[in-house]
Amino acid sequence: MLILASQSPRRAELLSQIGVPFTTLSADIDETILPGETPEIYVQRLAKQKAQAGWQASADIAESRLALGADTVVVIHEQALGKPKNFDDAMRMLQRLSGQKHQVFTAVTITSGEHCESILVKTEVTFCDLTPSQIEEYWQTGEPQDKAGSYAIQGIGGKFVTHIKGSYSAVVGLPLYETNQLLSRMSLAHEC
């Protein structure tokens, strides 16, 4: 049995897209960036902690199980952009992304409790130039309010993307190819 340690509807949709049966559980962890922690290390640490928390929380569901944790962060000039606190924060983030290339890092960890496998997928995204009125109009849709970097590539925010180099599904929140590869490896490891 696979436990998705996430309440993200996007991750659930993506996992369903590749035909993987799963149960979702919330993984409550502290998502504070540690002093000196790079975005790559940060996102990998959170994915691992979410997987471990999901595995532990699912003990009463199934004895033989795998837990999947994932995290995504938007990075520009080596600085992680989290979810916006308010409109001004979203305006600041989207102005930084305007007309620029940025990276989206998504880490995925799968654990069986004893064995753990992780991957980090980096995708480059380029935005068009955005005006303050476009940003305000986008904010009013409600979409950017709970998204890393203040945008959703799979939603209205996709209209700002001029180019993508890498995994589209990783930008949404779960890299499908790499996740499928991890699941294949972990299934074999789990059965041994």
CA 188 to chain centre: 25
Q: What is the pTM of this model?
A: 0.92
Model confidence pLDDT, tens digit, residues 14-48: 999 999 899 999 888 999 999 999 999 999 999 99
Evaluate whether 49 touches 27 at the Cβ level (below 8 Å). yes
- The Cα angle at residue 173 between residues 140 and 36, in degrees rounded to 5: 95
Q: Is the model's pLDDT at 192 over the cut of 70? A: no
Catalytic annotation present for 71: yes
Kindly name the residue from 71, 88, 89, 129 that is annotated as catalytic. Answer: 71
Phi and psi angles of residue 56, each rounded to the nearest 5 degrees, phi first: -65, -40
Phi and psi angles of residue 126, each rounded to the nearest 5 degrees, phi first: -115, 135
Model confidence pLDDT, tens digit, residues 62-109: 778 999 999 999 999 999 998 999 999 999 999 999 999 999 999 999
Model confidence pLDDT, tens digit, residues 135-147: 999 999 999 998 9
Domains of the chain plus CATH, in order, are 2-191 (3.90.950.10)
